[in-house]
Amino acid sequence: MPPARQLFFSGPRQLDLREIPLRPIAEHEVLVKSICSSISAGTEMLIYRGQFSSISDEYDSISSDLQYPLTYGYACVGRVIEAGGRIDKSWLDRLVFSFRPHATHFIARIDELHPIPSTIAAEAACFLPNMETAVNLVHDGNPILGERVLVLGQGTIGLLVAALLAEFPLDCLVTADLHRLRREASSQLNVTASLDPASARFLQDLLSCASSKFDLSFELSGSAEALNHALALTRFSGRIVIGSWYGKDKCEVDLGGAFHRSRIKIIASQVSTIAPELSQRWDKTRRFDVTWKALKRIQPQKWITHRFNFEEAPLAYELIDREPHEVIQVLLEYTS
């Protein structure tokens, strides 16, 4: 069996493509040949830049205890090309998703794979973890009929959250991002407005759009400054959902002024768990079902701005790092 090629993060802004021998598959395993995988412009770029913090999280096996050299990635779509003796042969040639690092091939158990519905394209399936995150964020925000909602950050996660919120009967939905390309994509989602945080009139324009402060705000930009904007723009007894992971960056939050009397709720949201108040009715299986249906409706592959052959992966990361204004979602493709 030929070796797999796998992407390694060797140090800050240092990537290696290494050959990894593939052992024979066991009777309860399958061999998957990758078709495409997506690069996270959030957490994954913190790892690329060496900005991740050393954490140990019992709920998050993907991002726990990170140190170089390491493999990373969690959005891989491939096709089953070999099955062990105990595996039903119907798995052969099946299109599957796996939370796996970037590699040309990988061996997996069936319970580590998610069969992709026939109505979902392979490149759309690469958005599965991002869409599940977006579903979780909306669940944690719990938007209410007629509310005024703000989403700060219109990268892939922010766009998906905005797309889901646009399906709600809100009074207004306003988004913001530094990059024009992302604001233009957001504006196509039937939002009230998509604004530039760098504008001198940013705060005034936001308040004008909402005719007041916001009931619910999402901080999805990865910027601590954006969190302070959310605090300033959220009304009495409102909610702020934080989906960003700031890595090593210290977040200087302004809790002075009016915050003390505001009764604003700050909610930490991360997809590894389900909110306790939902856990009696929701589990991962139900959330995945909702996520697949959302992928079919929203068709997020329209936000793929760049595609790179896997062998050119270092160029893909360099682009995201140096030219973020040109990028929404970058896809790695495996053609060999």
Q: Any alpha helices (H) in the chain, and if so which ranges? A: 43-49, 122-125, 128-141, 156-165, 180-187, 202-210, 224-233, 284-298, 313-322
The residue type found at 282 is W
Residues 305, 169: Cα–Cα separation, whole Å: 30
Contact (CB, 8 A) for 40 and 7 = no
Which pLDDT score, from 0 to 100, does residue 201 have? Answer: 93
Pairing of strands 172-176, 114-115: unpaired
Give residues with Cβ within 8 angstroms of 190, minimum separation 6: 166
Contact (CB, 8 A) for 301 and 1 = no
Q: Which two tokens stand for residue 314?
A: 């270092």
The whole-model pTM stands at 0.93
Q: Give backbone dihedrals phi and psi of 173, rounded to 5 degrees, phi first.
A: -135, 115
- Whether 222 has a pLDDT exceeding 90, the answer reads no
- Whether 150 has a pLDDT exceeding 60, the answer reads yes
pLDDT digits (tens, 9 = 90+) for 260-291: 778 999 999 989 899 999 999 999 999 999 99
pLDDT digits (tens, 9 = 90+) for 25-71: 999 999 999 999 999 988 899 899 998 765 444 444 444 467 899 99
Q: Which residue has the tokens 């766009």?
A: 159
Which pLDDT score, from 0 to 100, does residue 180 have? Answer: 97
Residues 47, 44: Cα–Cα separation, whole Å: 5
Domains of the chain: 4-116+299-333 (3.90.180.10), 130-268 (3.40.50.720)
